[in-house]
Chains A and B, each alone.
Chain A
Amino acid sequence: MLEIKDLHVSVDGKKILKGLNLTINAGEVHAIMGPNGAGKSTLSNVIAGRDGYEITSGSVTYKGDDLLAMSPEERAWAGVFLAFQYPVEIPGVNNTYLLKAGVNAKRKHQGLDELDAFDFMSVVKEKAKLVELDPSFLSRSVNEGFSGGEKKRNEIFQMAVLEPSLALLDETDSGLDIDALRIVAGGVNKLRSADRAIVMITHYQRLLDYIEPDFVHVLANGIILKTGDKSLALELEEHGYDWVKETL
C-alpha cells in the first residue's frame, strides 16, 4: 500500500530524514518509535502533505501512485488520514459540517453520489459510539474548547467516519489519561481491518499494550534503525534508545 524509498527530507535547510525506507501493506499495524527529534512527526507530515518540508530525494508510492505529487486533499480522497498530534481548533466551523464536507468531497471524487443529510447523521452517530464521544460534540466547533483527551478522541472519531485506507496516528496517546487511552485504543482496534493499514507514531510502549502492532520500527537519526515485532518495543522500554544504537 505504501512504499517509502530512500526518503531524504530537510526543514529550513536542516536534514531530518536521511534515506528512510519503509513498506506497509494493507491489514498491517505498524508502530514507529523513537527519541525526540528523530523525525517521527516529519514522516507523518510528509505523508499527509503538509507544507514546509523539502524533499531532497527519494520516493513515496501509495497504491501505485506518486503520493508526493498529490495535494493534501487529494491524499485524503485517496484514503490517507492523519490523526494530528496537536488537533487544531477551528472556531465557527461545525464538527459535523467538516465531516460531511470531507465525506462528500471524497465520494464525489470516487464518482459516488453525495450522502443525504439523514444517512450521514446516522453514520456519524454510530461512529461516535466507537470512541464514546458525547453527541453534543457533533454540533460544536471543531476542537474548540475540547480537552486534550477529547481532541484525540475526536481525531479517531473522524477516522472512523472518513474510513481511510492508510491511517497515521501521530502521538495519539500523548496527553491521555489511562481511561481515555483505553477508549481511544478500543476505537482504533475496532477500525482494524484487512484492507486498512494503521501506522502509530509514539514515544511510549504503553499504547502498544492496547493496540498490538504487527511490526515495530525504531526511527532514529533520520532512518529506520531497526525493525522487529512487538517484543522490540518492550526491549526499548527496558533499555532505552541508546541500546539500539549500541547493538548495531
Chain B
Amino acid sequence: MKLIQTVKQDALACFEKIGLPSKRDEDWKYTDASRLAGLLEMSDANKKVDSNGLGMLDLDAYRIVFINGVWDEKQSNLPKGVAIQSLTAINDSKLFQISADAPLLNGFNALNAAKARDGAAICLADNSVLDKPLYILHVSNQNQIIRHGMMLGKHAQANIIEHFISVGEDKALSNASTAIILKAGAHLEHSRIQQEGKAQSHVARVEVKQLRDSSYTFHGVELGASLSRTDLVVSLSEQGASCDLNGLFVLGGRQHVDHHTRIDHIAPHCTSRELYRTILDDRSHAVFNGKVMVHKGAIKTDSKMSNGNVLLSKHAEIDTKPELEIYNDDVKCAHGATVGQLDDQQLFYLRSRGISEAAAQELLTFAFADEVLAAMSNQVVRSYVEKEAFAKLPHGDDLEGLLGE
C-alpha cells in the first residue's frame, strides 16, 4: 500500500495539472470557479469560533462537531461499538486516493485530497444499525477543507446528517468531500444541509459506490452561501442497488447554487430516482445538471428524474439540463424539467377559500418545496429545514402562523 504522504502528493500533482475548472469546461459553464481562486490558502492557525446555540439543538442524535474543519472532541458524542474516528487517527491512504478520470472530478476535489486537515472516518460493521442519527455539524469562520469517509458493512443501516454553518464576515471557502461505500444490503440516508453565511462559498463532492441490493437516500438542501457547487456521483455497481436523490434550493439575493449529479447504472436491475426542486427569488441563479448513464449490460434499469423550478422574480435564473445516455435495451427511463411561476388555478382556488393572495403564493411555494422533504425520515430534521426554508421566503413568518400546529 502506498504511503499517505505519497497519495497526497499525487493528489497535489493532479491539482497542479488540472487546475481550477474554467468556464470553457462544459460542466462549469454557468459557475465561475475563478471567483474562488483567492480562497484556496489554508491558514495554519485556527481562529476561535463560538458554536454555542448553533445547529439542530433538539435533535436526538450522536454528534460530531468540526470547528474550522477540525474535529472538536469536547463537543462530540459518539455511539459505542462503532468505529468512528478522526481522519487524522487513521493510517489508510485509500481515504485520500483520487482518480483524475472519475466523473466530474475537478481541481477542488484534488486539492481536498491533498490538503484535507480532518474529517470523519465512519465504519459500520456488517449488520450494525445506528439506533440514532449521526449529526455532523461544521461551523467555520475561515477557509476549511474537510474529508469524510463512510463505509457501511453488509446490511448495516444509518442516518447521517451533515450540516454546514459559517459565522464569519470575511470571504471564505468550505471545500468538503464525502466518499461512501455501501456494501451488500446496506442502507444509508444522507442529508447535506448547506446553510453557510453570505460571505461563504462552498464546494463539495459526494461520491457513492453501491454494492448489491444496497440503498442510498440523499437530501441536498441549499439555503446559504453566496456560491455553492456540489458534484454528486453515484455508482450502482451491483444488481439490485437503488438510489433516491432529493435536492431543494431556496435562494434569494445574488446566491448562486449549482448541483451536478451523475448516476451510473453499471449493473442490471438497479433503480434510481431523482427529484430536484428550486425556488428562486431576487437575482439568484441555480444550475441543475442531472446525468444518468446506463451502461452496456445494465438491463432492467429503472430510472426517473424530475426537476421543477419556480421563479419568484423575473431576474432569477435557472439553467437545467437533465441528460440521459443509454447503451442498452430493455430499460425504463424518464426524465424531465419544468420552469414556471405558480399555478394560477391553484392560486385562485386558495383565494376563493378566503386565503389572501400573498399567503396563497407562500403556501403554494412552500408546498412545492416541501414535497422534496417528504422523503426525510427524521421529523426533527425535516421541521428544522422547513422552518429555515420558510424564513427565506418573503412572507415566511405569516405562513408559519397560517400552518400553525
Binding site for B on A (CB under 8 A): 48-51, 71-73, 75-77, 81-82, 84, 87-88, 90-93, 97-103, 105-106, 117, 141-142, 158, 162
Contacts and interface: CB of A to CB of B under 8 A. Distances in A.
Nearest to A116: B404
A90 B356 contact: no
A98 B360 CA distance: 10
A84 B364 CA distance: 19
Contacts of B355: 73, 98, 101-102, 105
B354 A77 contact: yes
A27 B361 CA distance: 35
B367 A92 contact: yes
B333 interface: no
Contact of B352 (A48, A97, A100): A48
A88 B349 contact: yes
B337 interface: no
Interface string B94-117: 000000000000000000000000
Given A48-B352, A84-B349, A97 B403 contact: yes
A101 B364 contact: no
Given A49-B351, A72-B351, 15 more contacts: A49-B352, A72-B348, A76-B351, A82-B352, A88-B346, A90-B367, A92-B368, A92-B370, A93-B350, A93-B364, A93-B367, A100-B404, A101-B359, A102-B353, A105-B356
A142 to B, nearest CB: 8
A98 B347 CA distance: 12
A73 B352 CA distance: 5
Contacts of B371: 91-92
Given A90-B346, A117-B405, A76 B352 contact: yes
Contacts of B388: none
Contacts of B353: 76, 98-99, 101-102, 158, 162
23 contacts: A49-B351, A71-B357, A72-B352, A73-B352, A73-B354, A73-B356, A75-B352, A81-B352, A88-B345, A88-B349, A90-B346, A90-B350, A91-B367, A91-B371, A93-B367, A100-B404, A101-B363, A102-B353, A102-B354, A103-B354, A105-B356, A105-B359, A142-B349
Nearest to A45: B348
A216 B29 CA distance: 65
Contacts of B402: 97, 101
Contacts of A87: 349
Contacts of A117: 404-405
Closest 4 CB pairs of A and B: A92-B367, A76-B354, A102-B354, A72-B351
Interface SS of chain A: helix
Contacts of A72: 348, 351-352
A105 B346 contact: no
Contacts of B368: 92
Q: Which of A71, A90, A97, A106 has the most CB of B within 10 A?
A: A90
A52 to B, nearest CB: 9
A180 to B, nearest CB: 21
B120 to A, nearest CB: 34
Contacts of A88: 343, 345-346, 348-349
Nearest to B374: A92
B344 interface: yes
B253 to A, nearest CB: 25
Nearest to A81: B352
Nearest to B403: A97
Interface in B315-351: 343-346, 348-351
Interface string B367-399: 110110000000000000000000000000000
Q: Which of B349, B353, B359, B371 has the most CB of A within 10 A?
A: B353
Contacts of B350: 90, 93, 98
A220 B371 CA distance: 44
Contacts of A98: 350, 353, 355
B347 to A, nearest CB: 9
A86 to B, nearest CB: 9
A162 B354 contact: yes
A93 B363 contact: yes
A53 B316 CA distance: 30
B371 to A, nearest CB: 5
Nearest to A72: B351
Interface in B13-52: none
Contacts of B345: 88
A73 B347 CA distance: 11
B402 to A, nearest CB: 5
A51 B352 contact: no
A230 B164 CA distance: 69
A99 B355 CA distance: 9
A92 B356 CA distance: 18
B84 to A, nearest CB: 36
Given A117-B404, A117-B405, A71 B367 contact: no
Contact of A90 (B344, B351, B364): B364
A218 to B, nearest CB: 26
Nearest to B363: A93
Q: Which of A93, A98, A102 has the most CB of B within 10 A?
A: A93
A73 B349 contact: no
A108 B351 CA distance: 15
Contacts of A84: 349, 352
Given A93-B364, A97-B403, A101-B359, A71 B351 contact: yes
A91 B368 CA distance: 8
Given A91-B371, A92-B370, A51 B348 contact: yes
